[in-house]
Amino acid sequence: MSVLKEVKAANDAYVAEFGEKGDLPSPPARQFAVLTCMDARMDPAQFAGLAEGDAHVIRNAGGRASDDAIRSLVISYKLLGTKEWFVIHHTGCGMETFTNETMRELLREGGSDSAAGAAADIDWLTFESVEQSVADDVKRIREHPLVPGWIAIHGLVYDVSTGRLEPVPAATEAGKPRA
């Protein structure tokens, strides 16, 4: 059963209260961006105290620093003025529960040859340790040639059972601004 009617009704209510939000500028008011997971248990607006227009929020499976996520961060800074970035992964992430090979096998089972072939070329960016994945992603972003050294990059883990954000020391070190 589709939830389209519910989404449309919620949108109608939102539109009725929209007010001055149409006048918000495109650059984020608080000049930062968040890269985080698409997990439905995480609401960046809530855990980071964001209102509409405050920050860019980039979401993908695992909150990983994929090429596309880095592309979005670079656009965020270069065209829209962000000066600080947060990489936030979370406890209990599904990306810890499988490997690239698991995903490839799932796509081979009952799928088409083209799906299996396409799956073989994808790095699904799975991981075994949430803290290590945060540190790795902050390091990858920091070392990217399009990322200026002066941008602070913070790495944190969101605890889905408490709502608390905890810094990852190795990510903090890797993300320090450079001259």
Q: Decide if 168 contacts 134 (C-beta within 8 A).
A: yes
What distance lies between CA 144 and its chain's CA centroid? 17
Beta bridge partners of 156: 88, 167
pLDDT tier at 107, thresholds 50, 70, 90: confident
Which stretch of DSSP H or E encloses residue 42? none
Name 156's Cβ contacts closer than 8 Å, sequence gap at least 6.
Answer: 86, 87, 88, 89, 134, 165, 166, 167, 168, 171
What is the third-level CATH fold of 24-175? Beta-carbonic Anhydrase; Chain A (3.40.1050)
Domain spans of the chain? 24-175
Poorest-pLDDT segment among 23-27, 103-107, 113-117: 113-117
- pTM for the full model? 0.93
